[in-house]
Structure 1
Amino acid sequence: MILWLTTFAFSIASALLPFLPIEVYILGAGATEAGVAASISLGIAAGAGATVGKVVWYELARRGSHSAWAQRKLAKPKVKEAYEKWVARMQGRPWYAAAIMFIAASAGIPPLLAMAAVGGLLRMPMWVFLPTVFLGRSLRFTLLFLGVDFALH
């Protein structure tokens, strides 16, 4: 239970602070616990923690989008063009937005931190954001835990 809670907590920290890679933590934690059930449980804990952390980024972007700083950034032509491109792609298309978010959460391309902020800026519905990030992250981390378990045990 301690490892599960530690994994959850470290995953939140990793989602908030990109210089704390969860993958390195998974290598160490996966080496201490053996078995498919433990790998799945720890993968879900890491996925849940990562989702909590990315919700913070989502909310910061959503709430800060009307700030003077954000408006100055959006006044720049390149930034405004990129922002408008994402708005055109994702607004009114929750399945497309969910697919992009799931790919970012599971594969890391585009980076999930950036996509969480984009989701907040575009006011992506939380009912789309939460499950796609949780499922994508849980899948990614469970597979990593299973890989470590397979390689070491």
Structure 2
Amino acid sequence: MKTMTQKQQGFTLIELMIVVAIIGILAAVALPAYQDYTVKARVSECVNMMSSAKTTVAMNASEGATLNSGFNANEETDNCEAVAISDAGVISVDSTTKAGSVSLTMTPTSGDAALEAGTPPSGAIEWTCSIGDADNYKYVPSSCHNTTTPSKG
């Protein structure tokens, strides 16, 4: 009877070290991108909360009423402070520290002019989204990419 010896096969130490190094490099690249994506998702909650305020301003403008009348501000959330509307119809909200501390402002215009309380707009209302700090632009969702940013420095 012939005995057969079987050699145990597996990965060498150097092969395992290469795999661990590759996983480490991928994690080093992916983790910051994932964190930015998470903050962007949280800021998008704030942009969505501004939509009801936009409706209020548009309805009041078309009726010739005070632009911020009848708006019930939302409760603060884990990601967003309360939405506010100024007398000029400018909507603002700040995200919390957890959501990158982004200051968002939506400014309405009609025919390249600011809206005026008591005067219905002459055309369609257009919204310009602004942020307080240019470094936070990467956190602004695409629904707000007509964004104006302050210059750095």
Q: Quick check: TM above 0.5? A: no
The structure with the largest alpha-carbon Rg is 2
Task: Name the structure, 1 or 2, with higher relative contact order (CA <8 Å, separation 6+).
Answer: 1
State TM-score, norm by structure 2: 0.30
Which structure has greater strand proportion? Answer: 2
State TM-score, norm by structure 1: 0.30
Which structure has greater helix proportion? Answer: 1
